[in-house]
Structure 1
Amino acid sequence: MTDPKEPLIRDLVAWIADAPRPYAEVMDIWRTSCPRLTVWEDAGDRGLLACETRDGALWVVATPAGRAEVNSATPP
């Protein structure tokens, strides 16, 4: 059985790979209080996303591994 979070993880990484996003924006949209829906945490643990400081603000960017994941994903 496929993990139901996989499409969500790919969506998150693809969204950020399109353009770096402010950390606060990412947390507003993707944070969850559900312990079984760990999309943000899983993407970070896999090294698909990283945080960077730019002009004094925290930004979320797709890593090279994240971009490779997005580019290799099969369209639905």
Structure 2
Amino acid sequence: MSETADPLVLDFVEWIAREPRAYAEVIATWKTSCPRLTIWEDAADRGLVARETRPGIGLTIAVTQDGAKFLRANGR
């Protein structure tokens, strides 16, 4: 991943850290038609966020332990 994408990945992980988000919300909010800006896929590939199934909610995206470390390391 390029260094220029890191601020967007950081913003994305911070947004997810506020509360686990429904998968559909993540797709709707962070979708892009630009193949160079695959922010949420990059965060998932780096292990910063993960899919989880939550009772009564369904599929969600949540910050992992590595994602929390990433946020702390970047002052967020």
- TM exceeding 0.5: yes
Matched residue type, 1:22 = A
1:74 is displaced (CA, Å) by 3.9
Deviations 1:37-76 (A, max 9, x none): 111111011000000011251000000000110111047x
> What is the RMSD of the two structures over their aligned residues, measured on CA atoms?
1.5
Q: Does 1:58 align with 2:39?
A: no
Aligned pairs, number: 74
User: Which consecutive unaligned segments of at least 5 residues does structure 2 have?
Assistant: none
SS in structure 1 of the partner of residue 51 of structure 2: strand
1:16 is displaced (CA, Å) by 0.6
User: Which consecutive unaligned segments of at least 5 residues does structure 1 have?
Assistant: none
Q: Does 1:25 align with 2:13?
A: no
TM-score (norm 2): 0.89
Output aligned runs, 1:1-76, within 5 Å. 3-55=3-55, 57-74=58-75
Structure 1 moving runs of 4+ over 3 Å: none
